[in-house]
Chain A
Amino acid sequence: MLNKLKIGIRTKITLGYIVIILCLLVSGIILNNQITFLQKERNYIITNDTKTLELTNRIERNILDMESSQRGFIITGESSYLKPYNKASENWEYAYDELYRVLENKPTQQQKLVEIKTAMEHWITTSGEPSIKLKKENNTEALKEIYKVDVGRKDMDAVRDQFESLRSVIYANMQAQVNDLDKRNSIVTLTLLGILVFISVIAIFIANGISRSIVNMLTKVTQTIQEIAASKSRKKGRIHVKTNDEINALVAATNELLDVLERREWLQVNIAEIVTKHQGISAVTKLAETFLSELAQKTQSSLGAFYVRETTDNNVLFVKKAAFAEAGDDVGIESFKFGEGLIGQCALEKKVLMYNDIPEDFRLIGTGLGVVSPKSIFIVPIIFENDVIAVVELATMTSFSELQQELVKQVIETFGLTVNSVLGRMEIVRLLNESRAMTEELQMQSEELQAQSEELQMQTEELTMINEQLEERTKEAELKSRELEQAKKELEESAEQLLLNSKYKSEFLANMSHELRTPLNSILILSEMLAENSQHKLLEEEAEFAKVIHSSGEDLLVLINDILDLSKVEAGKLDISFDEMNMSEVPVQIEQIFAPVAAKKNLQFHISKDKNVADVFYTDENRFQQILKNLLSNAFKFTEHGAVNLKIKQLGQEHLTSNMQNVSADWLEIKVSDTGIGIPKDKHQLIFESFQQADGATVRKYGGTGLGLSICKELSRLLGGWISLQSEEGQGSTFTLTIPSLPNGIEEQKYFELAVHEVVATNEVRELEELTEEQPSEIQEFSQHEVEIFQGKNILIVDDDYRNIYALKNALEKRGMNILVAKDGIECLDILQTNDEIDLILMDIMMPNLDGYETMSIIRKQMKITDLPIIALTAKAMKTDRDKSIEAGASDYISKPLNLEQLVSVLRVWLVSKGS
């Protein structure tokens, strides 16, 4: 195209004009020639013909002058007349020559002229010259002669005629020439017209051609533009022309304009798209994510990060809010400060940074197939009110086009506002949430306070109650303590008595047992001997009898021994000797004794001893074994199925009370447990009493004296320990013997302390029992509160109906209330003014003089009595009555006819003090 010659519209038009002007010039020259030629012709005609005529005339005059001069001379003879003749004869030949030359081209006229010359010469020769000569010679005769003939005259006439003829010829010639000129003139005019027509035609053609070429192009361009304008696709077409003129330039410019427009449209559309995506986003992270992903998409970036400025404790930090990576992994540092790195620099300088030379070790962009490093990075600060509030960084594997950069820059321009408004909105939401949380917190605290105050109130109430009870109890206790003191004295006395008695009894029993044993011994020995029947003298039956006697005797002996032991213990006659005991032997010994029993009753028997039980234990071995045996035989006795276990274990220091530690640091715990019939809880205490078993049925089934446990209890006490029992009916029982190791025996004092130990435990139980027993009586006490609510309360009844008043008065006075009566509102107000001890008003509504509403209004508004409860008595099912009552200041209302129970309930509600 560059080679193509540029023919612009201007050239075209100029060329056209040049053609026309050339045509005009040519035609002008032609015309000018013609006209000049005509002019020359005319001038020629004018000068030539005038000369011809003048010369002709001059010749004629010369001849005439000669004639007249000749005649004057002839007549006068004066030679002065001859002068014109001479002059003319001299001149005419010159004129003739000249005329002859002039008429060169006109032979006919030349002919005529020659003839004129001839005639003139003839005259001169024949008449002129001879006459003059003759005159001079004074030859008058000859002269006369000549004149007689007068040849001269004849010549003269001929000359004149010839001249006339010549002149007419000249004139005719002139006329012919003029006619010729006229003819030529009209030809020239015609030619001129022709040329004009021709040029016009050419001009029209050229004009038409040029204009058509221009208009065609323009139409085409216009059409294309219209098509483009009408086309809806984003990518517009372009105009194409083949010419190389201004239109082409116009088209090029238009195409450029389209390009620019398209780019601008792309920008606007994308900006609009990005901006639309932001709408309604209320969280900056979401905003950042959306924005970044949009931006990255539009700019074909592979990596991107979005940082938002956060100010904490005067520290300004840009924190990452969103990251974009095509590979999907996390990119970008978490935060940076002003001036930290390129991005920090960008934030500091508020300038867009664009880098195309990325160092090799820059973060690589991961793809499915590998990693590539980005080619350019683009860091843009987001500015709001001249402050950088966020920074976006993008990286791509290709490079950012101008358009993409422009897009980013333009989007960023307004984005500052968006970020700021979102941040603002977040701040507002945060504050809103905060204030909401605070409101809730307040509500919560107020509820808690209410709850606490309620709790406190309840506690106070409880405390008051407890206090009251305590006071009462103290009184009772004082009373009781006095009684107790009294009783104690009595008891002490009787105890002494009892002790004495018991001692006597025990001593007696001890003596008795001893006395009993002596005869029993002989019975036993003899019956045994009989039963052995060594000499076979007895019948088998008799031997059997003897066996029965022996075994009964043995039972009796056991019983007597038991009684003896018990009485010895109770009488303080039992000797306890503390000594070394080898604990390791105990299980073996016990095993030997009870294994056969267990085998006989088909029971399992386990003995276990903890390893930390010391081998040496200081106690009374006999008594210890007695206790064990007793407990075990009991266990075997009351167990039909299952097992009996014996466990010996050392009590750890942590289980010892200070009392126990005072006694010894070394305590054993021996547990005998069985799976037998067990003992009901209420019998636990009983079975340790002498001669007691759980119940009569037990005695019948199992036999026994019931002394065993009493003895064990006493023995264990003597050994410095005690026995306790855990058992439930049917669940088996466990007896636990707890005894100390006492190398130096035991002091009296310690017995006492240990006894206290036991007593404390039982007392607690009793106290609890007392408490539960007392509960019903409390309720009875409270019923007095009921009376307290109504007792002595002053109730003012305002009613005009005597029957109502009577009924109410009656019912309320029964409950201890004082009743005042007012028959109408006025009376009611009077009473209120004089009596300020009214507790409650029952107010009828329908009354003469001053009705209930007005009365209440006056009480509340004029008398300013606001706390006094007023119960309005309204007609049933009349809501307006109730509403009016409330408006007038009633505290509550009841519908008539009155229900007594309801009335009492309401009175309770309004008479009860709020605090209670």
Chain B
Amino acid sequence: MERFPLQQKMYTDLEIDLLLEAIYRLSGFDFRQYNRSSISRRINNRMRMNNIPTISRVIENVIHEDGFLEQLLNDFSINVTEMFRNPSFFKAFRQEVVPYLRDYPEIRIWHAGCATGEEVYSMAILLQEEGLMDKAVIYATDMNEQVLEKAKRGMFPINKMQAYTKNYMLAGGIQAFSEYYKTDYQYAYFHPSLLKNIIFAQHNLVTDQSFNEFHVIMCRNVLIYFLPELQNKVHYLFAESLSKNGFLCLGDKETIGFEDIISKYKEIVGNEKIFQKVE
């Protein structure tokens, strides 16, 4: 259909609105406050792969075609992660945050949006090396249950392990990285003892509330997919869920954009986006 670009955009917006509404009503997953550019790219990607001409057809498929909704939900959740991602962050965490954590009788860490769990295992290794694992509990949550299942298995493709080894070393690892895993031809399997104090649970930052008080909240490269209002909402959730002097760790490109929230934190390692709650 020939339309003016502006009109086309309006129609596309409407279609996306309807699609997201349908997804929300059908699955309870609320992407309505997600960044539109990302969402529309994901939709386009799926349309290209399945040869679907219009978003309206996508809606139809979501409603009538078994399994399509699940597939689309999977498309929407971006599960890009790696072990010791941004090694300098883990190094800074080790140097600046761990000394605080030593004094606590117990440490509760919330890893929000853990995807396939690479960073959760990284944190577990770090805590183990610092002798804190026994008193720590890591709550690793994601909205996507499929990736959580993957995360629980603790197995990662072997071809990524070279990069992870480098990251581990750059992050200030004090053992041989190979002490934590075994391999077969396809995967590296991480030692089950790392899993001892990790609790994996489904949690949706958009719709769910806080479930505990934490000393550390890690939420790296998750909020970038949200619109500012939703980011703000989630930041409130984090601020509520953090204990006094608790730490908030964000992705290296992320910031707390809202003045009333930023005033609750002080930046303790500026470049690594580690914030400490001040009140």
Query: Interface of A with B (CB < 8 Å)?
Result: 282, 433, 436-437, 439-445, 447-448, 450-452, 454, 782-783, 785-786, 788-789, 869, 874, 879, 882, 886, 891-895, 901-902, 904-906, 908-910, 912-916
Contact present for A448 and B176 (CB under 8 Å): no
Interface-centre pick from A444, A782, A893 (highest chain B CB count, 10 A) = A444
Are B162's CB and A906's CB within 8 A?
no
A-B contact pairs, 25 of them (CB 8 A): A433-B257, A436-B255, A440-B254, A441-B37, A443-B251, A444-B35, A444-B225, A447-B78, A448-B38, A448-B80, A452-B45, A454-B80, A782-B185, A882-B174, A882-B176, A892-B169, A893-B176, A894-B178, A906-B178, A908-B158, A909-B178, A909-B183, A909-B188, A913-B159, A915-B159
Per the 8 Å Cβ criterion, residues 155-210 of B in contact with A are 158-159, 161-162, 165-166, 169, 174-179, 181-186, 188
The answer to whether A444 and B224 have CB atoms under 8 Å apart is yes
Residues of B within 8 A of A436 (CB): 255, 257
Q: How far, in Å, is B260 (CB) from chain A's closest CB?
A: 12
Report the Cα distance A901→B188, complex, angstroms. 12
The complex places the Cα of A874 from the Cα of B251 at a distance, in Å, of: 34
If A451-B79, A789-B185, A869-B162 touch, whether A902 touches B177 (CB-CB below 8 Å) is no
A440 touches B185 (CB 8 A): no
Is B266 an interface residue, CB under 8 A from the partner?
no
> For residue B255, which residue of chain A has the nearest CB?
A436
4 additional A-B pairs beyond A442-B253, A909-B158, beta carbons within 8 Å, are: A441-B37, A444-B35, A902-B176, A908-B184
Chain A, residue nearest B259 (CB): A282
Q: How far is the CA of A445 from the CA of B35 in the complex (A)?
A: 11
Q: Which residues of B contact A451 (CB under 8 A)?
A: 78-80
Q: Which of B80, B158, B259 contacts A912 (CB 8 A)?
A: B158
**In the complex, per-residue mask of B12-42: 1 if CB is within 8 Å of any chain A CB, else 0:** 0000000000000000000000010110011
Is B232's beta carbon under 8 Å from chain A? no
Partner of A909 from B42, B161, B169, B253 at Cβ < 8 Å? B161
B221 within 8 A of A: yes
A912 to B165, CA, bound (A): 14
Instruction: Pick the residue among A445, A789, A902, A908 that contacts B179 (CB under 8 A).
Output: A902
Known contacts: A433-B257, A909-B165. The answer to whether A444 contacts B38 by CB under 8 A is: yes
Q: Chain A residue with minimal CB distance to B163?
A: A914
- Report how far A786 CA is from B183 CA in the complex, Å: 10
CA distance A303 to B255 in the complex (A): 42
Interface majority SS (helix, strand, loop, mixed), chain A: helix
Decide if B185 touches A447 in the complex (CB within 8 Å). no
| Complex: chain B residue closest to A913, CB-CB | B159
Known: A448-B42, A908-B158. A886 touches B35 (CB 8 A): no
Q: Are B178 and A902 in contact (CB under 8 A)?
A: yes
Q: Which residue of B lies closest to A432 (CB)?
A: B257
Q: Which residue from chain B places its CB closest to the CB of A885 in the assembled complex?
A: B169
Determine the distance from Cα of A913 to Cα of B161 in the docked complex, in whole angstroms.
Answer: 11
Asked whether B158 lies within 8 Å of A786 as measured between CB atoms, the reply is no
Residues from chain A with a CB closer than 8 A to the CB of B182 are: 901-902, 905
Chain A nearest CB from B87 CB (Å) reads 12
Bound form: Cα–Cα A516–B45 in Å? 73
Residues of chain A lying within 8 A (CB to CB) of residue B259? 282
Closest to B169 in A: A886
CA distance A895 to B221 in the complex (A): 35
Measured between C-beta atoms, what is the minimum distance from A845 to chain B in Å? 13
Q: Which of A444, A786, A874, A891 contacts B184 (CB 8 A)?
A: A786
Q: A440-B254, A444-B225, A786-B185 are in contact. Are A891 and B162 (CB under 8 A)?
A: yes
B165 closest partner in A (C-beta): A892
| B176 in contact with A892 (CB, 8 Å) | yes
B177: A residues at CB distance < 8 A: 892
Contact A439 B176 (CB under 8 A): no
Cα of A783 to Cα of B184 in the assembled complex, Å: 9
B residues touching A (Cβ–Cβ < 8 Å)? 35, 37-38, 41-42, 45, 78-80, 158-159, 161-162, 165-166, 169, 174-179, 181-186, 188, 221, 224-225, 228, 251, 253-255, 257, 259
Chain B residues, Cβ within 8 Å of A445? 38, 41
Which B residue sits closest to A783, measured CB to CB?
B185
**Top-3 shortest CB links A-B:** A440-B224, A909-B161, A786-B185
| Nearest-neighbor residue (CB-CB) of A908 within chain B | B183
Q: Which B residues lie within 8 Å of A782 (CB)?
A: 185-186
Q: Which residues of A sit under 8 angstroms from B42, Cβ to Cβ?
A: 448
Per the bound structure, the CA–CA distance linking A441 and B36 in Å amounts to 11
Contact status of A892 and B78, CB under 8 A, knowing A442-B253, A443-B253: no
Cβ-defined contact, B257 with A892, below 8 A: no
Residues from chain A with Cβ under 8 Å of B255 in the complex: 436
Q: Cα distance A906–B178 when bound, in Å?
A: 6
In the docked arrangement, what's the CA distance between A254 and B45, Å?
84
Q: Which residue of A lies closest to B81 (CB)?
A: A447
Give Cα distance in the complex from A882 to B169, angstroms: 9
Q: Measured between alpha carbons, how far is A786 from B184 in the docked complex, in Å? A: 7
B224–A891 touching, CB < 8 Å: no
Report A143 CB to chain B, min CB distance, Å: 164
Q: Which residues of A contact B228 (CB under 8 A)?
A: 433, 437
How far apart sit A440 and B179, CA to CA, in the bound complex (Å)?
Answer: 36
Given A785-B185, A905-B188, CB of A914 within 8 Å of CB of B176: no
Q: How many whole Å from A287's CB to the nearest CB in chain B?
A: 15
Task: Give chain B nearest CB distance to A893 CB in angstroms.
Answer: 5
Residue of A whose beta carbon sits closest to that of B223 = A440
Given the interface pairs A441-B37, A892-B177, A905-B183, the reply to whether A914 lies near B162 with Cβ below 8 Å is: yes
Contacts of A788 in B (CB 8 A): 185
Q: Which of B165, B183, B253 is within 8 Å of A904, CB to CB?
A: B183
Complex alpha-carbon distance, A542 and B238, angstroms: 96
Give the Cβ gap from A889 to chain B, nearest Cβ, in Å. Answer: 12
Are B178 and A892 within 8 A (Cβ)? yes
The answer to whether A448 and B41 touch across the interface, beta carbons within 8 angstroms, is yes
Q: Is the CB of B78 within 8 A of A448?
A: yes
Q: How far is the CA of A874 from the CA of B174 in the complex (A)?
A: 13
Q: In the bound complex, how far is the Cα of B179 from the Cα of A893, in angstroms?
A: 10
Complex CA–CA separation, A760 to B174 (angstroms): 63
Given A433-B257, A448-B42, A909-B158, A443 contacting B224 (CB threshold 8 A): yes
CB distance from A878 to the nearest CB of B (A): 11
A452-B45 Cα distance, complex, nearest whole Å: 9
Q: Could you say which of A440, A454, A789, A882 has the most chain B C-beta atoms within 10 Å of its C-beta?
A: A440
- In the complex, which residues of chain B have a beta carbon less than 8 angstroms from the beta carbon of A786? 184-185
The CA of A891 and the CA of B161, in the complex, are separated in Å by 11
Q: Are B185 and A908 touching (Cβ within 8 A)?
A: yes
Closest to A905 in B: B183
- A916 surroundings in chain B (CB, below 8 A): 159
Give A149 Cβ to nearest chain B Cβ, in Å. 161
**C-alpha spacing A913/B175, complex, angstroms:** 25
| A-side contacts of B254, CB under 8 Å | 440, 443
Q: Which of A447, A454, A783, A905 contacts B181 (CB 8 A)?
A: A905
Please name all residues of chain B whose beta carbon is closer than 8 Å to the beta carbon of A908 when the two chains form the complex: 158, 183-185, 188
Query: Using Cβ atoms and an 8 Å threshold, which residues of chain B touch A902?
Result: 176, 178-179, 182
B14 smallest CB distance to A (angstroms): 22
Chain B residues within 8 Å of A447, by CB? 78, 80, 221, 224
Q: Which of A443, A450, A786, A904 has the most CB of B within 10 A?
A: A443
Query: What's the minimum C-beta distance from B32 to chain A, rounded to whole angstroms?
Result: 17
Distance of A451 Cα from B166 Cα, bound (Å): 21
Picked from B162, B169, B185, B225, the residue with its CB within 8 Å of the CB of A910 is B162
In contact, A443 and B221 (Cβ under 8 angstroms): yes
A282 to chain B, nearest CB (A): 8
The residue that B176 contacts in the complex, of A450, A789, A895, A912, with Cβ under 8 A, is: A895
Residue of A nearest to B168 (CB): A892
A874 to B175, CA, bound (A): 11
Residue of A nearest to B41 (CB): A448
Bound Cα distance from A886 to B174, whole angstroms:
12
A448 to B259, CA, bound (A): 29
In Å, the complex CA distance between A782 and B184 comes to 11
Question: Which residues on the A side are within 8 Å of B188 (C-beta)?
Answer: 905, 908-909
- Min Cβ gap B75→A in Å is 9
